[in-house]
């Protein structure tokens, strides 16, 4: 075959392929619904699946050069709706046309607003985490690729919590098979102090190198995933080491204020088990042993509370070191934080105690020693994080008065401790249950009159 003949044969073959591909595209396009029908089908399917109506402002799909479906201005019909400005899904063309295999190249999410109360309406309606093959169910003869979604990107995803604090996040994730993340990045968008989480899978194992940048420091380590037997769901665990993380910078990045200032280091263990992904977050338990050197209590003056022997509010306490253990436990109503084995020291005082924090309310107790000889003064911590209070209980105050009368100075502290222990022994200020009323005695029956 001469060169001109080969060239004509190649050109003819290309022309036939292009005509065949064009005909295939026309056939597929003719069978696909128009934009209005796509929007209506998505809204109807969402309502049927979740029992919540969905408004789809606009929908558009195109097949060439790559299949793309774009949705805009979505909103759920709820008192505080979940809204989404734009969602685009880009698919691989050839598996779709030749093999009816759906392989999504990328999902792009832009400006999604998630109010907490609205999201709670969807609990228990999604697939269990171990049912990876059921996350996307397609009718026959369509099938999912081994990696159904290769990449998801999101920008300006806003979570609104129970206190109406809105926090925005950016990020992206690439997947291996079985929905295992290969790489994940999550950032607090717009935070003055950068907060960033990165996960990188180690080979084909269910382990991820974990790197967290927060408060000018790091919180790095390793995370693990385990599928529990007998359909019990998933177990997530991690071991992380915080290093020189500025507490105020970290807390402010999430729209809150801290009662402690300083840079924390230590070790964190994390674990959660659940049947659903959302429940993993809600049931998360962490334990952190920490040290802050130096530290400042930004809303409490412990020395003043000891010397005034009364309710103390405001002020600051500069510390050389603050150590302890923090346990957090997620619940349906928020995160319970328990500080145990707290120990603080400075050139003026040493203190030890425990504290519980829930929904920004504090309860706890502390014993404070001053270097000038006042030792072991028991204090009660209460109030909110914004306005904490330090005081003595009624029994401790009474004991302090007696001790001061007998032996000023040290006697005040000894009396306060004795008064506190007596108060605990007899139940303190706790309300005592009302005594049970005795059961009424049955009235004696009168003798029956005989006629």
Following DSSP, what letter does each residue of 248-289 receive, concatenated? HHHHHTTT---SEEEEEEEEEEEEEEESSHHHHHHT-EEEEE
Q: In this model, does residue 247 exceed pLDDT 50?
A: yes
Report long-range pairs for 304-307 (Cβ below 8 Å, ≥24 apart).
305/368, 305/379, 305/390, 305/391, 306/349, 306/368, 306/370, 306/374, 306/377, 306/379, 307/370, 307/374
Q: Quote the pLDDT of residue 82.
A: 96
CB atoms within 10 A of CB 241: 12
Pick from 223, 86, 104, 217: nearest CA to 157: 86
Q: In this model, does residue 415 exceed pLDDT 70?
A: no
124: left (phi over 0), alpha (psi -120 to 50) or beta: left
> For residue 416, what pLDDT band results from cuts at 50, 70 and 90?
very low
Lowest mean pLDDT, pick from 80-84, 186-190, 347-351:
347-351
Q: Which two tokens stand for residue 166?
A: 């809105």
Q: Quote the pLDDT of residue 354.
A: 92
Beta bridge partners of 353: 342, 366
Question: Burial, 193: exposed, middle or buried (Cβ in 10 Å; 0-12, 13-18, 19+)?
Answer: middle
Residue whose token pair is 């319970």: 336
pLDDT digits (tens, 9 = 90+) for 21-73: 444 444 445 456 678 888 888 898 889 888 999 999 999 888 777 888 899 99
DSSP string, 394-410: HHHHHHHHHHHHHSTTH
Q: Which two tokens stand for residue 79?
A: 């008192």
Q: Quote the pLDDT of residue 257.
A: 85
Lowest mean pLDDT, pick from 15-19, 329-333, 380-384, 392-396:
15-19
Mean pLDDT for 126-144 is 56
Residue whose token pair is 């036939």: 16
Q: Quote the pLDDT of residue 419.
A: 43
Q: Quote the pLDDT of residue 13.
A: 42
pLDDT digits (tens, 9 = 90+) for 161-208: 888 999 999 999 999 988 899 999 999 998 888 999 999 999 999 999
Going through 63-191 in order, the beta strands assigned E by DSSP cover: 68-76, 83-91, 101-115, 143-149, 151-160, 166-175, 181-188
pLDDT digits (tens, 9 = 90+) for 2-28: 544 434 444 444 444 444 444 444 444
Please state, in angstroms and rounded to a whole number, the distance separating the CA atoms of residues 76 and 74: 7
Q: Quote the pLDDT of residue 21.
A: 42
> Do the bridges between strand 260-274 and strand 312-313 make them parallel or antiparallel, or are there none, so unpaired?
unpaired
Average pLDDT, the chain: 79
Q: Quote the pLDDT of residue 146.
A: 84
Kindly list the distances between the CA atom of residue 38 and the CA atoms of 31, 60, 87, 355, in Å, as whole numbers in the listed order: 12, 8, 14, 55
Q: Quote the pLDDT of residue 231.
A: 74
Task: Output 45 or 74, whichever has higher pLDDT.
Answer: 74
Mean pLDDT for 210-236 is 92
DSSP string, 327-361: EEEEETTEEEEEEEEEEEE-SSEEEEEEEEEETTE
Lowest mean pLDDT, pick from 189-198, 202-211, 247-256, 301-310:
301-310
Beta bridge partners of 165: none
Q: Quote the pLDDT of residue 150.
A: 94
Instruction: Write down the pTM of the prediction.
Output: 0.78
Please state, in angstroms and rounded to a whole number, the distance separating the CA atoms of residues 157 and 256: 19
Q: Quote the pLDDT of residue 442.
A: 52
Task: Output 268 or 413, whichever has higher pLDDT.
Answer: 268
Residue whose token pair is 């899904």: 89
Q: In this model, does residue 129 exceed pLDDT 60?
A: no
> For residue 349, what pLDDT band results from cuts at 50, 70 and 90?
confident
> For residue 338, what pLDDT band results from cuts at 50, 70 and 90?
very high
The answer to whether 69 touches 38, Cβ cutoff 8 Å, is yes
Q: Quote the pLDDT of residue 449.
A: 42
Positive or negative: CA dihedral 312, 315, 321, 325: positive
Pick from 296, 298, 317: nearest CA to 306: 317
Question: Which residues have a Cβ under 8 Å from the Cβ of 137 and sit 6 or more positions away?
Answer: none
């Amino acid at each position: 075959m001469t060169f001109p003949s080969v060239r004509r044969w190649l050109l003819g073959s290309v022309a036939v392929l292009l005509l065949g591909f064009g005909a295939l595209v026309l056939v597929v396009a003719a069978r696909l619904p128009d934009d209005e029908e796509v929007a209506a089908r998505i809204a109807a399917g969402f309502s049927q699946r979740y029992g919540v109506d969905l408004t789809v402002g606009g929908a558009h799909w195109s097949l060439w050069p790559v299949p793309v479906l774009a949705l805009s201005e979505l909103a759920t019909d709820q008192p505080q709706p979940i809204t989404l400005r734009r969602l685009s899904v880009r698919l691989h063309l050839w598996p779709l046309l030749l093999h009816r295999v759906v392989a999504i190249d990328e999902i792009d999410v832009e400006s999604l607003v998630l109010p907490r109360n609205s999201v709670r309406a969807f609990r228990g309606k999604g697939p269990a985490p171990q049912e990876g093959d059921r996350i996307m169910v397609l009718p026959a003869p369509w099938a999912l690729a081994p990696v159904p979604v290769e990449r998801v990107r999101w920008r300006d995803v806003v979570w609104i919590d129970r206190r109406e604090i809105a926090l925005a996040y950016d990020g992206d994730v690439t997947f291996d098979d079985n929905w295992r993340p290969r790489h994940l990045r999550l950032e607090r968008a717009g935070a003055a102090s950068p907060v960033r989480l990165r996960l990188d899978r180690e080979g084909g194992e269910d382990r991820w190198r974990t790197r967290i940048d927060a408060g000018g420091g790091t919180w790095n380590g390793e995370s693990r995933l385990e599928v529990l037997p007998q359909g019990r769901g998933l177990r997530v665990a991690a071991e992380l080491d915080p290093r020189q993380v500025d507490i105020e910078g970290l807390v402010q990045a999430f729209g809150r204020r801290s009662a402690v200032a300083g840079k924390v280091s230590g070790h964190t263990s994390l674990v959660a088990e659940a049947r659903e992904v959302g429940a993993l977050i809600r049931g998360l338990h962490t334990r952190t042993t920490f040290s802050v050197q130096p530290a400042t209590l930004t809303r409490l003056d412990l020395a003043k509370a000891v010397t005034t022997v009364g309710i103390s509010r405001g002020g600051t306490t500069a510390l050389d070191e603050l150590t302890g253990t923090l346990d957090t436990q997620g619940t349906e109503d928020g995160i319970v934080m328990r500080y145990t084995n707290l120990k603080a020291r400075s050139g003026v005082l040493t203190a030890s105690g425990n504290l519980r924090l829930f929904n920004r309310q504090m309860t706890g107790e502390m014993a404070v020693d001053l270097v000038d000889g006042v030792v072991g003064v028991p204090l009660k911590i209460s109030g909110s994080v914004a306005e904490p209070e330090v005081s003595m209980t009624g029994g401790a105050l009474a004991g302090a008065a007696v001790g001061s009368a007998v032996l000023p100075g040290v006697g005040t502290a000894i009396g306060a401790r004795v008064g506190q222990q007596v108060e605990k022994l007899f139940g303190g200020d706790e309300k005592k249950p009302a005594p049970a009323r005795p059961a009424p005695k049955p009235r004696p029956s009168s003798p029956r009159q005989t006629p």
